[in-house]
Structure 1
Amino acid sequence: MLFKKASQKHNTNSRLLLGALAGVSLTCGTAHAQSGVTLYGIADVGIEHINNTSAGGAQTREVSGNLSGSRWGLKGVEDLGGGMKAIFQLENGFNINDGTSAQSTKGLGANAATTSRLFGRQAWVGLAYKGQQLTFGRQNALLYEQAVAFDPMGASSRYSVLSLDYAMAARIDNSAKYTGIFGPLTAQAMYSTRYDTGYGSEVPGAEITGRFFSGALTFAQGPFAASVSYEQRNSNSVATNTDTERRATAAASYQIGPVKGFAGYRYLRASNAFLPANPIVVANGSEASAANLYWAGAQYVATPAFVLTATAYYQDVHSTSADPWLAVLCADYLLSKRTDVYATAGFARNKGGSALGVNGYGTVAAGYNQTGVVIGMRQKF
């Protein structure tokens, strides 16, 4: 088993997918090929208390997937010789508090679409060759991978950059994804013919319906890392398929001793008729075509077993006064390499009729502030 050091504990959402969290390893071989399959997972659950809910009043509840989405998965590799390898990954997300699937419903508001996904987090297969790989299937968006690395909270399921933009934890259906590592530089590109099949399959004669493409460049050397990315989605509706939602991001991190600092920026521009409806651009009941998101924070490794994280996020929605911000403080204590306990507190400040809650837009009564606290534990296998 390979597990993260304490200073990397919030980067599990994507790094665990690429790392070797091994529970069981099965191997077999021939004269010129070897195969390996790994079973891995995370169980994360906590007790949360929030006030000013969208339904009114306060609420105390048990919630799954706080610092990391609860999951189990299989990943495998086969050496094909000459440096070429076949690779695959299947990953299921679940709610540990009730055993239901965590990725069965997609879409937002009146445009919500429902799907049944066994492997809703990831399901892909591909080839790898000397630092480069090409994969096909349902895969993490490039913005998701960037958020995991450059959000101080690691794009955790709650109380993170994901609360301000759902796309920061997006998975893309029907996608082809290229990743190439060239020394300290990593280049990525992604294309999908229908990024969310909850709205149906590809439409003959309307090929831009539900189209998605993205690109990213990341540089990492020594204590410094930085990344830029771009993505565009076309509407899932044939009638509005020329409408788009576009994002551009830039982020950086720097390590100084036990402290690691983070900063990031995301630009969003969306057509008013874009489907699914984006709550960011209808933040106060009126439509806006653009929004800027800024964040900054730091992680402090107080001891090898104790990590403190503090971060703040600010959303500037153009042409409205609905510009909320979110502040988060998290303490994480490692009981072992596989088990940790944590406490996270967040405060969302709303104005101009915005409705940003600690768990995302629409989870608080519009125009009200919200405080949330969650105490939980996480176990990796």
Structure 2
Amino acid sequence: MKMIQRALAAAAVCAQCSAPALADTQVQLYGIVDAGVLTQSKSRAGGSLTRVETSGLRQSVWGLRGTEDLGNGLKAFFNLESHFDMDTGALHGSGDSAGSGTILFRRQANIGLSGDWGSLTIGRQYGPALLAHLNTEPRAFKEQFSNLYAWAYNQLEALAGADAVNSNNDVGIFFKNAIQYRNTVGPVSFGVLYSPGEQPGHGSRNTAYAVGAAYDGPVMLSASYQTMKDQASGNRNIEHAGLGGAVPLGAFTLKLNWLQGKNSNADGIRTSKVDAIGAGIDWKWNPQNTATLAYYDNKDKLNTEDHTRNLVLSNDYALSKRTTLYVQAAYVDAKSQSSLKTSIVADGSFAPGAKTTFLNVGINHTF
């Protein structure tokens, strides 16, 4: 999404000169650097594989964000966030439609206003549906071995296919050309996003809509829905929905999450319907360590051989508030036509029709 941030130069100068006493501007450089080693017993190429792996726990990113106090409870803000790979130093590829090129600020490029009424954000940004489930997805959508990738790949088909495209959708996680309203009312936080299609003479073609809500009380609940329309036909080529819940019990947190991705081609014919179910338990067994056991069962109901069952065991050891050592192991039991749509493995490198074990050890640092 292109960040909408242009203003007339004269107006900008006037604004800066008229209220210097009210302006309280803060700009922050921030980021995450994450890398480790990943070993797997089998691969799609046939043999075992060991490699340096970027972003095992969280995505490696760097960004700039800023706020300005405009007075009377009103603030202006911006976000610029880039995604890169630690193993090569290259920018991470995007899930944008073909021909989009290399995107510097793939994750965020936006500007907005906030106040006691909520916030309004314009530009490329995270969708509200994914944000709603952060506390109920069994592994909090960690970059490796979670349903983050079942989510993404179920909304990539319309981009990868030759006959169905929504160019505003980057794997259902990021949206460009988007406008989002967010607010928190008591224990409920929610967001509503709309991305216009920008197709001359066709108001609904290429549009995207997304909503997400989370309740944070004695228990945590989440719900989401988003849909994207085809650029050429205007038919819905992606529909995605989710429900989740989490229950804290002392040092333990139980989690259950259901996601469903439905893809159709440009003619509106359904091509896949994937249910992704995740259940897990977090155990903070001392102040520095959190262990997680999670199970994922992901299946395309239109193709019973596109089905994976996954077991994940991990531990995060906090060396400090900023630095974490992690170890995570996964067991993937994949049927013969298992695809990216049912994958919890970031690059889909598990072997179809086989049982594959993974071990990932790494370090994550935030700044």
Per the shorter chain, which TM-score range? 0.7 to 0.9
Structure 2 counterpart of 1:254:
247
* Equivalent of 2:234 in 241, 249, 254: 241
Distance 2:221 2:357 in 1: 32
Q: Deviations over 1:174-196 (max 9, x none)?
A: 100010111111231001125xx
Cα distance change of structure 1 residues 60 and 127 upon mapping to structure 2, 3 Å threshold: same
Cα distance change of structure 1 residues 298 and 274 upon mapping to structure 2, 3 Å threshold: farther
Moved more, 78-87 or 162-171: 162-171
Residue pairs, 1:20-99, within 5 angstroms: 30-99=20-89
TM-score for the superposition, normalised by structure 1: 0.80
Letter in structure 2 aligned against 1:106: G
Structure 2 counterpart of 1:342:
326
Please state whether the residue corresponding to 1:148 is helix, strand or coil: coil
Residue pairs, 1:67-146, within 5 angstroms: 67-102=57-92, 104-106=93-95, 112-130=98-116, 132-146=118-132
Letter in structure 1 aligned against 2:61: R
Distance 1:58 1:113 in 2: 34
Contact 1:346 1:358 in 2 (8 A): no
Letter in structure 2 aligned against 1:314: D
Q: Deviations over 1:249-306 (max 9, x none)?
A: 111111111111111111222214489xxxxx9xxxxx74422221110110011101
| Residues paired across the two proteins, number | 329
Contact 2:308 2:343 in 1 (8 A): no
Distance 2:136 2:267 in 1: 28
Cα distance change of structure 1 residues 360 and 70 upon mapping to structure 2, 3 Å threshold: closer
Structure 2 counterpart of 1:268:
261
Contact 1:80 1:86 in 2 (8 A): yes
Distance 1:362 1:258 in 2: 33
Distance 1:181 1:299 in 2: 26
TM-score for the superposition, normalised by structure 2: 0.83
Does residue 192 (structure 1) correspond to residue 189 (structure 2)? The answer is no
Distance 1:204 1:357 in 2: 37
Residue pairs, 1:212-227, within 5 angstroms: 212-221=208-217, 223-227=218-222
Residue pairs, 1:336-375, within 5 angstroms: 336-355=320-339, 356-360=342-346, 362-375=348-361
Letter in structure 2 aligned against 1:105: S
Give 1:326 deviation, angstroms.
Answer: 1.5
Residue pairs, 1:140-179, within 5 angstroms: 140-166=126-152, 167=155, 170-179=173-182
Please state whether the residue corresponding to 1:164 is helix, strand or coil: helix
Give 1:34 deviation, angstroms.
Answer: 0.9
Distance 2:327 2:172 in 1: 22
Contact 1:347 1:358 in 2 (8 A): no
Please state whether the residue corresponding to 1:143 is helix, strand or coil: helix
Q: Deviations over 1:136-175 (max 9, x none)?
A: 1111112221233221322111111123221586111110
Structure 2 counterpart of 1:305:
288
Give 1:352 deviation, angstroms.
Answer: 4.7
* Equivalent of 1:294 in 272, 277, 285: 277
Cα distance change of structure 1 residues 42 and 84 upon mapping to structure 2, 3 Å threshold: same
Does residue 206 (structure 1) correspond to residue 206 (structure 2)? The answer is no
Cα distance change of structure 1 residues 274 and 131 upon mapping to structure 2, 3 Å threshold: farther
Contact 2:147 2:344 in 1 (8 A): no
Distance 1:118 1:232 in 2: 26
Please state whether the residue corresponding to 2:129 is helix, strand or coil: helix
Give 1:358 deviation, angstroms.
Answer: 4.6
Does residue 331 (structure 1) correspond to residue 323 (structure 2)? The answer is no
Distance 2:302 2:52 in 1: 38
- Structure 1 residues not aligned, in runs of 5+: 1-28, 195-201, 276-280, 282-286
